[in-house]
Structure formats: structure tokens, C-alpha cells
Structure 1
Amino acid sequence: MKEQEIEREKREDKEYVINLLKLIMLEIRTPKTRRAKRAIEKRAPKLVENGKKTLILLGTKTSNVLNAILTEIYHLKKNDSVKYSRRNDNIRPFESGGEASLEFFSLKTDCSLFVFGSHSKKRPNNLVMGRTYDHHIYDLVEVGVENFKSMDSFSYDKKLAPQIGSKPFFAFIGEGFESEEELKHLKEVLLDLFRGQVVSNLSLVGLDRVYVCTAVSSNKVFFTHCALRLKRSGTVVPRMELVEVGPSMDLLVRRHRLPDESLRKETMKIAPELTKKKVGEKVLPNKAKGVKRERREAKLKGEAKKQKQDS
């Protein structure tokens, strides 16, 4: 048994070194063609970053339920996600050394969000959701999925089906999202995962879906996806009705890992070019000069008018 454990540790160390070398090769690769140069420039830091993409990966073993969940998450995020069907034996997000492969795939696909699915007797139907910063693990939330219902199990008018790429509403119901650390963290990750592209202006017609998250207990959330039906209300604002279109599931928080405080502060930094200057820092026009000039002009006009009347 000891010899097998030693061999397994050697194999894991070898895989870890190989993945590190792959990361280094990706980072130092120099472009040889214009196409490669454009691809590298696209990934370079920007004042306004590109929209976040999601990486969807499978573990060593998965269940039919878990495969359906990952497929439907991919469908909901089809425009900005990458899904790998190959199983990964050496990805273990919460273990030391088990993150190298995940970070490699994040760098390779330029994804800053990820969903990793695995299934075991100890943790059945297990989902690990997380975010990366500079393609290194930023934070992690592990949930177990229960009572899953796929989109195909809901019957409704297909004309109401949300369009791919449309913007969603979010409804977080329950005090747990404000008081429980696990649920507060899960809320942050779910918002980042499903909110889509950041926009400045939005038409009401483009809001055709809502994600409803209900805190059932201190570590359990009911998650469902609904379509919005707009009806006449007799006013300018239409009346909205929710039609459940799926998927729906219970999310049981198992483990989570918050980012280091120093790393959190670093991610919150804003480029000086994007910060608005305070009023006290702006160079205001000299209004006093303008007022004096207006007074002089008015005085000259008054004198000219008086001379004209005297003559």
C-alpha cells in the first residue's frame, strides 16, 4: 500500500510540473503571425475589459444528472462559454496542487469563470463554481445539487422561451443572502456567472428572463429560471408574469473559499483614467472676469443711450 501511495504521489507531482511548464510556455510564447499577434493583443489588459467567459469542465466521474446540469448551464451561456467533454483526473480545486490544470485551461481559453462537475459517494452531484484573477484561482464555492428538473420537463408556450444573449433579472429572496457568509458568497458567484455582458443602456423588451434564488436555510438555496411575460396594465409600465422554464434545483453549500483580503483589494483597483475627478479637483472657469466684462458692456451701452437721448 505504501509503495502504491508513493507511486501515486510521484505521478501527481509529475502532472503538476507538466501543467506548470505548460502555463509558462503559454505566457512566454511570442507571436509569429499577425493573427497570433491580434489574439495576444485581444487578451492583453485593457481599460474596459472584455466580457467574462465561463469554462465548463468534467471531473473523473460524473452522473447523468450532473451531465444534464452542465449541458444546460452551457446552453444558458452559449455565447460566452467553453465546454470540454473530456474528463479530467487531476483537477481538484480545493486541494494544494490540484488547481494547476484548472488555471492552465483558464489561461488557454481566456475564461475568468468556471464550473467544474464531479460525482462521488462522499459528494454526489457536486458542482464547484469559481472565479479567477489573472488566470489564478480567486475564490471557490462548492455545492451539491438536489431535486434537479431540466428545461425539457417544463411545459409552456415556446414563444416565451428566453432568447440567447438576453439580459436577466435576479431575485434573491431571504435574509440568509445578507446574514450568512456562505450564501453571500454564493450570491456573488451566481451573479457573476449568469449576468452576461455588462451594458450601459437596455431596452425593456430585452429583459425576458429572471433567475430566482430563495434561501431555504443557512446553507441551502432553491434556484430556478423563469421567463417574463409582459401584459397590459393600463399604465406605461406593463404587468409582468413569471413562467417557470427551468432548469430548477436545490443548491446545498458544502465548502467555500473566500479570496485573500490583499488580493480582493487588488482586484478592486480602478485605472486612474476611468476615475471621475472630484469637483474640487476640476479647474473651474473664472466667472468673476465674465461678470466684470458684462458690467462694463452694460455701462457703455447705458452711456451711449444717454448721449443719444441728450442729443
Structure 2
Amino acid sequence: MTEPLLSIHHISKTFPMARNFRDVVTRSPRQTLRALRDVSLTVRPGEVVGVVGESGCGKSTLGRCIAGLETPEHGDMLWQGAPISAGENRRTRARHIQMVFQDPYASLNPRMTLGQTLEEVLRVHGLAGDAARRRERVDELMLMVGLAPALKERLPHTISGGQRQRICIARALAAEPQLIVADEPVSALDASVQAQIINLLEDLRAKLNIALIFIAHDLNVVRHISDRVAVMYLGEIVETAAAEALFTRPLHPYTRGLLAAIPIPDPKRRTSVPSVEGEIPDPLSPPIGCGFSTRCSHVIHPCRVRHPDLHQTGEHGVRCLNPAATRPFADPGSVYPATGNQ
């Protein structure tokens, strides 16, 4: 088996909450939001790992920790086997781990032309030699993402949202990374443009052997592009498996509920598994036991009092005291194709 490019071991991240006037007067202790709890993940060279879950589950915080924009309080991250916190490896991360953000409108400097945006990356990382070679490299990068080099003199507000996201991808590629963290890169785009960006990422991954962490909430897109999938809930990874295994034989009740919510046109193939009901618990006051126990239709007493570990069976891991391994599940994939195929 290929040695992992990135290894994450039991990282946790919390954020202090702002105090209101009453808290100050009563001297109430500052509350903390637990964004990540005991998260472990590996990414191999050229692999696409999808990360899915509801809004607020910690997906983006995980991506920001990997990219170095946030620092976990606990746990370890290794880059090709070396601790990522060491000085030299922090510089390595800045070049070899790049991030594409959700909002292409806010991701680009409005006062810099597209060419200047790309050339800045080359200059900062000391790539592509002199100024003339950097300009040539800018043209190459724009062609790689399907844009005409003539656009390099344009400002971000003069191009479309899809073109902006292509420039953001080109900016990430300019550093010659081995891993790209894509944080919901298509959610702000029209449906027709989403498919184009997904296909572009797939083509670049195949040509350049770049690993990709693809954060999204669209399960069909995740299934289409991912080799492995990690499902997050309330700051934890509750299930992880190869994409086809997770979509055809999900073990965690939350995963099963998410998949059951995918519309199936054929009524004969609709599953009897209920979709996820209720509201996500207050992250400032999570349940004592399993985080999903307040919404789970298969909850048993130990779920309410004992926090489950992530149990690994081969490549399939599940954080559940009562995994749904034997209950039938209708896979919607064959009747509801992924967005990227449309």
C-alpha cells in the first residue's frame, strides 16, 4: 500500500466564544466551541478524499487546519512521515498544500489582474525563474484550467464566477502542490458550471497526480469524484470508507440517513430507511455520549452515556455502538447520477 502523503492523528480544535455584557457582569466563564474532536485521516498520493456533513460539522475547520490557516490544540499531523509543525515542514506545507475556497468572489484581490495574481505565487515561492519565464508560466497555468491567456490582463470583477474559480485553481497549481484542499469549490456556482469545475479537477488530478481533499455537502458529487469518503458530524468523523463501500453499505445511522435523503425517481427503488430528523445539538453543549444519540432511530442506552471510538474493520471505519451492518439499504447511485456526469 502506498505510503500516506498526509497523516492526521487525533487532532482537536476549539474556538473561544465572544462574551456578552451579562456574562462579563456575572463573571461567567468563557464558553468554547469544539469544532474538531479526535479527528484522524490519511491521504495518499493522487487520492481524492471526500469530506461530507451538515453545515457546522467541522468540515471547513478541518480543511483550514490541514492548510495551516488554523492550528489544532491536540494531535499530530505528518507530511510524508515528518511532523508538520517543525519549521522546515511548515515551509513545505505552504508550498505543497494549497487551498481552493468556496467563494471565488472573495478569494481574489480585486485590485490585481489575473496575471498578477498568478505571478505573485511564482515570485513568493521562487518558481519559474526570471520575470519573462514567470509570464510564460502564467500563460501555461491559464491554459491548464481552460482559460485564454489573453484574460490575464483582466480584473476579477470583469469575469464570471466559473472563470474566477478556475483562476483560484490555477493559483493553487502555481505552487506545484502535491495536495489541494478544495472547500466546497462549486457550491457558489450555477449547476452547469459546477460540472465543468468538477471535471476540471478530475482531469488535473489524473494529469498531475495531485491528491485532493474535496469538502462538499452534495453527496452525488462526492461519490462521483472521490476514492474515499469521510462523513463528519458535530466535529467528528463518524464513518470513513472507500466511496463505493460507503454508498452501497453504510454502517453509521447518520450516513444512512444522509443517503436516504437523496431523491430517487423510481418509487420501486426507494429505501425505507428514514432520513435524518431533528436539529443538530448545540455544539456548545454536545451530548455526553454519542453526538448523534439525540437524532438516531436506533439509539440504545449505552449510546447516551458512552462516547464511541472509531472502530476500523479493514478500510471501513465507523464511530457507533450499534452499527447498522445487517439492515438492508437501497443504493440510490444507479438511478440518481452524480452531477459531474451530467
Could you state the TM-score of these two structures normalised by the residue count of structure 1? 0.20
Q: Report the structure, 1 or 2, having the larger helix content.
A: 1
Pick 1 or 2: higher relative contact order, CA cutoff 8 A, min separation 6: 2
Which protein has the bigger strand share? 1
Structure whose alpha-carbon radius of gyration is higher:
1
Give the TM-score normalised by structure 2. Answer: 0.19
